[in-house]
Structure 1
């Protein structure tokens, strides 16, 4: 499962906790991973992964986003992953929760 592979990689590469659901008692900084889609052709899959960098300030969220991007590009070296491409990244501040965050969306090509 690509989510588990990437989550384990991000957890090892980044200091803040990385998870797939917002923790009940969320720390100041954390990273959320979500698969938003996937396509398959000839046993080659391309997953669309959204990675949110949450932090107490907009600047810290932007800094964490840069760390996430570097770690995601490094994930292309993992077995079974053929390519990691940044689709887009942007300020994704949560006005309802009053929390600063950035979101980076990646296309991850991998083998079944």
Structure 2
């Protein structure tokens, strides 16, 4: 025999009253344990469902963010092109105004010369 180890007689050799009995749980406790396990499983499934939902939603948000960024880049490009066209049109308008002023000045000079010649 190893020190510190007690010898135990075989259960069959003991009279029925001295045999070690298995402890049985009351029926109510068995149902309570099943209820707790069921609730834990339900909570786990609910958490997994929430994680899956959030995963899908985050992917959708990511796609929307990428699409929004692409649209923003396209709008910036379009805005720059339009600003270049506006600048070109303003330059053309300024040149046209200068030409109109030049023609008006030439007409006024021609009118003055005609009036001077007619006198």
TM-score clears 0.5: no
Higher helix share: 2
Query: TM-score by structure 1 length?
Result: 0.20
Query: TM-score by structure 2 length?
Result: 0.19
Higher strand share: 1
Larger radius of gyration: 2
Q: Which structure would you say has the larger RCO, counting Cα contacts within 8 Å and 6 or more residues apart? A: 1
